[in-house]
């Protein structure tokens, strides 16, 4: 006798959630544990790191901030944001070949001197304020760099971190976003993890 099974209801199959893009600190270039010096040679600095995530078809976007994490005179949680947003093709968590990166040139912001932080940030979406629309869906790495007076070379004798705090000294981060944003509700897993960050020197 043949036994058969009758399916009376269509299974409710939900698509997998996207996970927050995650920058891998161990792959940071330059290394995070050194003070970078920007003078006439070199006249620009590049910041790069590997990024991994399950993107569910959404591209990963990349931005570079100067002095992120402290309130600027205009009320933003950063002093400057390098113009434009780079994008990485959507991929999966097992892809270890993608690298996020941005380059900052001395000529872009003339007049900036002293020690500053450079924060590379990735997210699936950034808003008009340049911040991630959902902070849970982001990750960042921070480097410390000393900028010499334009046209000069210098040998800074400072401690990265303690000497790189902006004048306001008032901590301020990008807003978290709408309640529950970045949380997967289909039971498959997803972007519910807290946004990750790493800095290049102890404070």
Residue 9 lies in a domain: no
Residue-wise pLDDT tens digits, 109-164: 777 888 889 999 999 999 999 999 999 999 999 999 988 887 777 888 876 666 67
Provide the pLDDT for residue 61: 96
Provide the token pair at 147: 């900028």
Q: Which of 113, 97, 103, 119 is nearest to 50 (CA)?
A: 97
Lowest-pLDDT range of 72-86, 102-116, 179-193: 179-193
**Full domain range(s) for residue 166:** 22-199
Lowest-pLDDT range of 98-102, 117-121, 158-162, 178-182: 158-162
Residue 8 lies in a domain: no
Provide the token pair at 42: 């070199």
- In this structure, are residues 109 and 98 in contact, taking their beta carbons and an 8 Å threshold? no
Residue 5 lies in a domain: no
Provide the pLDDT for residue 128: 93
Residue 159 lies in a domain: yes
Residue 6 lies in a domain: no
Residue 82 lies in a domain: yes
90 pLDDT above the threshold of 90: yes
Q: How confident is the model at residue 59 (pLDDT cuts 50, 70, 90)?
A: very high
Q: How confident is the model at residue 37 (pLDDT cuts 50, 70, 90)?
A: confident
Residue 185 lies in a domain: yes
Provide the pLDDT for residue 105: 82
Report the alpha-carbon distance of residue 147 to residue 111 in Å, rounded: 10
Residue 15 lies in a domain: no
What integer is the mean pLDDT of 37-56?
87
Based on the number of CB atoms within 10 Å of its own CB, is 59 exposed (0-12), middle (13-18) or buried (19 or more)? middle
pTM, full prediction: 0.83
Provide the pLDDT for residue 188: 37
174 pLDDT above the threshold of 90: yes
Domains contained in the chain, number: 1
């Amino acid at each position: 006798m043949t036994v058969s099974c009758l399916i009376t209801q269509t299974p409710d199959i939900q698509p997998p959630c996207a996970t927050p893009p995650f920058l891998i600190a161990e792959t940071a270039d330059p290394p995070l544990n050194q003070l970078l010096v920007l003078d006439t040679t070199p006249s620009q600095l590049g910041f790069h790191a590997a990024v991994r995530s399950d993107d569910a078809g959404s591209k990963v976007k990349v931005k570079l901030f100067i002095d992120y994490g402290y309130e600027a005179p205009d009320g933003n949680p950063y002093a400057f944001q390098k113009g434009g947003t780079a994008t990485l093709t959507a991929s999966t968590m097992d892809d270890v070949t993608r690298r996020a990166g941005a380059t900052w040139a001395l000529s872009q912001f003339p007049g900036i001197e002293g020690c500053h932080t450079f924060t590379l940030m990735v997210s699936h979406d950034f808003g008009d304020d340049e911040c991630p629309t959902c902070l849970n869906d982001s990750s960042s790495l921070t480097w410390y760099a000393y900028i010499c007076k334009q046209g000069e070379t210098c040998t800074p004798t400072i401690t990265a971190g303690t000497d790189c705090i902006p004048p306001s000294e008032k901590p301020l981060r990008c807003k978290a976003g709408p309640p529950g944003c970045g949380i997967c509700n289909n039971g498959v897993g997803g972007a519910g993890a807290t946004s990750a960050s790493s800095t290049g020197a102890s404070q």
